[in-house]
Amino acid sequence: MTSKQMLGEILKNHYASAMEAKKAGRPVVWSTSIAPQELMEAMGLTVVYPENHAAAIGARKDAPRFIEHSESAGYSADICSYARVNIGYADLLFSEAENIPAPDLLFCCSNICCTVIKWYENLAKKFNIPLIMIDCPFNSSYEVDPANVAFVKAQLLDAVAKLEEFTGRKLDWDRLREVMRISNETAMWWKKATDLAMAKPSPLSGFDMFNYMATIVCVRGKQEGADLFKLWYEELKEKRDKGLGPWKDGEEEKYRILWDGIACWPYLAPTYKILKKNGINVVTSTYPESWTLLYELDDLAGMAKAYDAIYVQRNVEYATDRLLNRARDFQIDGALFHSNRSCKGMDFKQYEIQRKLESELGVPSVIFDGDQTDPSVFSEAQYETRVQALVEMMADKKRKEGKA
């Protein structure tokens, strides 16, 4: 089995097992995407991820009816489209694209944004079910504040007590250690695989990275997740060692770029094809890196720090340095910034990061307007125009450097 086949099987089983658990009367949890899944996995709970589910619905062109339903119920068009899709789905509970069962418990971690707090509070009221909240403070200082780590660790311990109360059984701490080990192994293989894109040419297409990302969300604490990314790494390493590029047709990787922000799931095909037509390969991104959660085993404080240290939780100075380092490591020729209407927390940093990328590294970039799930915000014509402008700037830079 190839890693791509394994990916499909894992996702199919992920959704099917959730529906089976519900039918069998076992509790189902809805969780935010970068939550401490280790706790729920160690407790043997079935977990699904509304953001993942909303992205799947968006990629399969079924998002508008859920968005329209939630907006007709009074939710603003300015809030996250993942939230609008999921809130609409919570009422309708059926999609031709993919289905998840109604939740019995909600688990929310605010490290990805503030929207999830009210989103999950509203879901808790709607379904009249318990909500466990992990509030991760933003790090306004360059390094992660030790007070933040202590605060999150205390909440992890509180979450354990609440999970024990919900399930009626005690947490097996040996099982938690095992899940922490697997989670670190999965994250390590994910990082090793995606880091192979540093090679020239890159054996990896960035849009493959977006596709595999669905699995890092939902099986990070399961052995099949570690096995998948180890296999993917081995496949990519073989391609790299043979000097093969990202595309099966052997087309040349003319330009290497960084994609900042979430993919436009309803428009994966055109956004990919327009780049490939111009010989552009996405070799790295700030968004998938957020699942490289590594920490010392048997260290709850270390785990707390990892969850509070993800990219979107860091101040603009740290975020800028992190992106500039990726630009150097992956030897990019340009950057494409997705100004995602749904994700204000990331968008507000982009203009300063773009300025530094140009002034410190001389790397050209463009910004295009879009959304992760709402198809009404994206213009294919604008996107293609911005990509063409980026190509012209990258080509001009190469001419001046004598690399054309």
Q: What is the pLDDT of residues 364-386, one digit of tens each?
A: 999 999 999 999 999 999 999 99
User: What pLDDT shows up at residue 347?
Assistant: 80
Which distant-in-sequence residues (6+ apart) come within 8 Å of 80 by Cβ? 113, 115, 119, 342, 343
Q: Is residue 359 part of a domain?
A: no
Q: What does the H/E/C string look like for 305-348? A: HHHHCCHHHECHHHHHHHHHHHHHHCCCCEEEEEEECCCHHHHH
Average pLDDT over residues 131-159: 97
Q: Is residue 387 part of a domain?
A: no
Q: Is residue 51 part of a domain?
A: yes
Average pLDDT over residues 225-234: 97
Q: Is residue 235 very low, low, confident or very high in pLDDT (cuts 50, 70, 90)?
A: very high
Task: Give the CATH number for residue 127.
Answer: 3.40.50.11890
The sign of the CA dihedral 387, 390, 396, 400 is: negative
At 398, the amino acid letter reads K
Res 404 pLDDT > 80:
no
Q: Is residue 40 part of a domain?
A: yes
Exposed e or buried b for every residue in 131-146, given b needs 16+ CB within 10 A? bbbbebbbbeeeebbe
Q: Is residue 124 part of a domain?
A: yes
- Lowest-pLDDT choice from 133-137, 282-286, 389-393: 282-286
Q: What is the mean pLDDT of the chain?
A: 95
Instruction: Using a pLDDT cut of 90, give the percent of the chain over it.
Output: 92
**Starting from the edge strand earliest in sequence, which strands make up the sheet with 280-285, in order?**
280-285, 255-260, 334-340, 365-370
Which distant-in-sequence residues (6+ apart) come within 8 Å of 399 by Cβ? none
Size (the chain), residues = 404
Domain boundaries, position 26: 3-172
User: What pLDDT shows up at residue 362?
Assistant: 95
Average pLDDT over residues 1-18: 96
User: What pLDDT shows up at residue 167?
Assistant: 98
Task: State how many domains the chain has.
Answer: 1
User: What pLDDT shows up at residue 149?
Assistant: 97
CA distance 158 to 166: 12
Burial grade of 101 (CB within 10 A; 0-12, 13-18, 19 or more): middle
Q: Is residue 244 part of a domain?
A: no
Question: Whole-model pTM above 0.75?
Answer: yes
Res 46 pLDDT > 70:
yes
User: What pLDDT shows up at residue 339?
Assistant: 94
DSSP 3-state of 388: helix
Q: Is residue 386 part of a domain?
A: no
Q: What is the DSSP letter of 201?
A: S
DSSP 3-state of 235: helix
Other residues' Cβ atoms within 10 Å of the Cβ of residue 382: 12
Instruction: Using a pLDDT cut of 70, give the percent of the chain over it.
Output: 100
Q: Is residue 69 part of a domain?
A: yes
Q: What is the pLDDT of residues 158-178, one digit of tens each?
A: 999 999 999 999 999 999 999
DSSP 3-state of 47: strand
Nearest residue to 324 via CA among 287, 361, 288, 290? 361
User: What pLDDT shows up at residue 135?
Assistant: 97
Res 389 pLDDT > 90:
yes
